[in-house]
Amino acid sequence: MLSSITAIVPILCVTAAGIAAMLAEAFREPGERMPIAGLGLVGLAGAGISTALLWGRHQTGFGVVAADTFGLFFVMILVVIGVMTMLLSPRLVERDELPGGEYYALTLFALAGMMLMAMATDLLLIFLALEVMSLAVYVLSALKRNSEASVEGAFKYFILGGFSSAFFLYGIAFVYGLTQSTRLDTLGQVVAAQSGGHPVLALVALGLLLVGFGFKVSAVPFHMWTPDAYEGAPTIVSGFMSTGVKAAAFAAFVRVMATAFHPLQATWYPVLWGLAAVTMILGTVVGVAQSNLKRMLAYSSIAHAGYLLVGLTAANDIGRGAILFYLLGYGVTNLAAFAVIGLLATRDRANDDLASMAGLSNRHPALAAVFSVLLLSLGGIPPTAGFVGKWYIFSAAVRSGDYLLAIIGVLTSVVSIFFYLRVIVMMYMAEPADLPRSPEPSRVATFTLAATVIVTFYLGILPTPFLDLAARSIGSLF
């Protein structure tokens, strides 16, 4: 019993912090300023420390939660994303007049669901964790209640999310009909025993589960909610959604495909191959046409989902390890990129279109420099984390013989550099826009963005320790 509780301590720490945030908001006097973000940082610190102590012990919680190195690696990614969100949020929450208690509590509950999703070894528990995460993110997307775009984007996200959850739940029902269980190890044994024949129920379950995962990772053609939801949501929420949700979804996706459905690789390989190719192409081509930066980063996020699917399609340890490293680098840079856009906004103007970037190097030289580094990393320019991540993703595809998929990935990466460089050109070479100057970022936000730049370069120059850590983490799945 004690070992089972120990395995879920990181999740309990974040959940307790979320409850504390709710209570703090309940007892806060009207107009009283309370550092609720600090409660989230304490909970995330506890989650990070407990994750480090659990590392390598391979404990199991109640038979359905695995504190293996694979799940714990994703928990650490989510802790980093959570800490960055807490540090970057206070000024933005206050400026946009968001309800602080609700915002921080929902963010922490979403993180708890994400962590459970990364560690769950039972399909029903993955579904419950997915819904805990999703319900919190639906509300976060609509937290700007006086914004029609926010409410519209959240409504689309909610409707399509419920639709995809139904597919996922039907897939679980077919799995139970096949195995009389929803555990991944049991499903893997049954599928392996039937792989020589035609396991119809397993194939139907696989197809339904792919729809659910495809929606959460924003893969084409399940991406329709992404641009509107990202554009309408508060900017820091958009960054949190684009990184945390994607990391948690890929954690569960990789675990399910690499364990339960690995015997059917010959069946799902062409499906994932097509999803990866179409996702990379559409995310890049449509992203080029965007003038709103949040929509541009939304389509960029779709394209990055395609790159991650390349690593999953490769179905080798290099590809799976590259997914872990890629999500670490992508999570840090993309969340910080959204934060920069948020910091440039004022109470009266979002300043999230391309024209607003004109002459930013004159108005905010530090933010322009940080934004340039982050965009170059997202484009895969060396020596940044994005370059190393893409290099290993495409290397995994080449190693598995997917030369065409690797070529598509490289070509779409080259095209995507255009819309990242376009922003940099506007910041440094265009005539300054006649806009009111945005407030200076707080010291905490400045420190966080500076640390992000350092991490981006560190992962691009000295990636070996983290790549080795990712490779060892993948080994725990088997």
The percentage of residues in the chain with a pLDDT greater than 90, rounded to a whole number, is 64
Residue type, 326: Y
Average pLDDT over residues 152-169: 91
Q: What is the pLDDT of residue 195?
A: 61
- Size of the chain, expressed as the number of residues it contains: 478
Q: 306-355: per-residue pLDDT in tens?
A: 999 999 998 788 888 899 999 999 999 999 999 999 999 887 787 888 88
CA neighbor of 258 nearest in space, from 198, 199, 324: 324
CA 46 from centre of chain = 21
Beta strands 65-67 and 59-61, pairing class: antiparallel
Whether the bond between 436 and the residue before it is cis, its omega within 30 degrees of 0, is no
The dihedral sign for the CA sequence 238, 280, 158, 260: negative
CA 361 vs. chain centroid, Å, equals 29
Tokens, residue 173: 């029902």
Average pLDDT over residues 219-230: 89
Please, which pLDDT band fits residue 208 given cuts at 50, 70 and 90? very high
| pLDDT for the residue numbered 449 | 95
Residue 155's region, left for phi above 0, alpha for psi from -120 to 50, else beta, is: alpha
Domain total in the chain: 1
- Give the relative orientation of helices 293-314 and 225-232 as an angle to the nearest 10 degrees: 140
Q: Is the pLDDT of residue 7 over 80?
A: yes
Q: What is the pLDDT of residues 419-473, one digit of tens each?
A: 899 999 999 988 876 777 777 888 999 999 999 999 999 999 999 999 999 988 8
Range of the domain at 317: 2-475
**What is d(CA 451, CA 464) in angstroms, rounded to the nearest whole number?**
19
Is the pLDDT at 198 greater than 60, yes or no?
no
Contacts of 251 (CB under 8 A, 6+ apart): 70, 71, 74, 117, 118
Please state whether 300 falls in left (phi above 0), alpha (psi between -120 and 50) or beta.
Answer: alpha
188: pLDDT strictly greater than 90:
no
pLDDT of residue 433: 67
Provide the pLDDT for residue 101. Answer: 86
Q: Compare 149 and 285 and report the one with higher pLDDT.
A: 285
The candidate with the shortest Cα–Cα distance to 416, out of 338, 330, 333, 301, is 301
On whether the CB atoms of residues 389 and 441 are closer than 8 A, the answer is no
The neighbour count for residue 448, using CB atoms within 10 Å, is 20
Ranking 113-122, 319-328, 348-357, 384-393 by mean pLDDT, the lowest is 348-357
